Amino acid sequence: MDATALTSPASLCTLPDSLYVGVSTKMYMGYARSLEWLEQLVAEVDARPALAAGRVVPFVIPSFPVLPAAAALVAGSPLVLGAQDCGWADGPWTGEVAPSMLAELGVGLVEIGHAERRRHFAEDDAVVALKVGAAVGSGITPLLCVGEAEACAPEAAAEFVFHQIKAAVSGDWAMAARLVIAYEPVWAIGAPEPASAQYVSMVVGALRDALAQHGLPGLPVIYGGSAKPGLLPQLSGVSGLFLGRFAHDAANFGRVLDEALAQPTGC
């Protein structure tokens, strides 16, 4: 990418360089069921040799106790292993899991700042920033969850999300370049239907314009919030989908992978 591309409005480019398709189990599955499902997920990925090219990046985020066995299951697969959260340091933090240990287990990506963590565990921007810094310091990519609480104008939603990203990296845009952004409007999480494709595309387009001012027009921004098969082809400028319960049927995960592989990328 040349220097002029870095300073041009992001809206001129609506085709991401890479697409990400991922899923979290949250706490919906027990241990044995998680491993059975992971085997099915690996089979879906292995059935699509085109994923080896890396243009579409699949990832999976099981619960903490499953991670060691999951690492063995996904070894040699294009699937990137993720964790659902992390602590912000090693040391005397009872019940937390350090990013350094996650890295040792083979975790490549960690979900940080999900709306449930912000709402129910009182994680504010300062805590999110500590976790983002710790994850980056351990060589793990933060999957930073952002999103407005209520439906509003796309420009207002994009401004809110932009400030969440800025706070998460304490204004360090070089660190922001290490992130994958999961845009999940809070009002759409768990809803029967996701936010409209037009709304999501407009929010992400406005967000990219803001990020372009800091040299980050191509930062991966994926959409979550009741995302399911059939949505990705309707979106513009979005770098993939973060799936929930729809992908607890591994075949649905495979369907979205096919949609991603069929999408054009690059500008």
Q: Which DSSP string do the residues of 182-243 spell out, in sequence order? A: EE--GGGTT-SSPSPHHHHHHHHHHHHHHHHTTT-TT--EEEESS--TTSGGG-SS--EEEE
The per-residue pLDDT for 225 is 80
The per-residue pLDDT for 120 is 96
- Tens digit of pLDDT for each residue in 99-144? 999 999 999 999 999 999 999 999 999 999 999 999 999 999 999 9
Q: Which of 111, 114, 123, 248 is catalytic?
A: 114
The per-residue pLDDT for 17 is 85
The per-residue pLDDT for 143 is 98
Find which of 16-25, 66-75, 193-202 is predicted with most confidence, using mean pLDDT: 66-75
Q: Which of 44, 111, 184, 259 is catalytic?
A: 184
15 — pLDDT class (breaks 50, 70, 90)? low
Q: What does the pLDDT average to over 49-53? A: 96
The per-residue pLDDT for 267 is 52
Give yes or no for residue 5 having a pLDDT over 60: no
Q: Pick the more confident residue, 264 or 1.
A: 264
Would you call 104 a catalytic residue per the annotation? Answer: no
**What are 60's strand-pairing partners?**
23, 81
Give yes or no for residue 7 having a pLDDT over 90: no
Give CA–CA dist 202/41, Å, rounded: 32
Q: Pick the more confident residue, 134 or 90.
A: 134
The per-residue pLDDT for 221 is 98
Give yes or no for residue 10 having a pLDDT over 60: no
* Cβ atoms of residues 183 and 207 within 8 Å: yes
The per-residue pLDDT for 14 is 54
Number of helices (H), then strands (E), belonging to the chain: the values are 10, 8
- Tens digit of pLDDT for each residue in 182-239? 999 998 876 776 689 999 999 999 999 999 999 999 999 999 988 888 999 999 999 9
- Tens digit of pLDDT for each residue in 154-180? 999 999 999 999 999 999 999 999 999
Which residue type does 177 have?
A
Would you call 148 a catalytic residue per the annotation? Answer: no
Q: What mean pLDDT, rounded, does the chain reach? A: 91
The per-residue pLDDT for 113 is 97
Give me the DSSP letters along 110-135: EEE--HHHHHHS---HHHHHHHHHHH
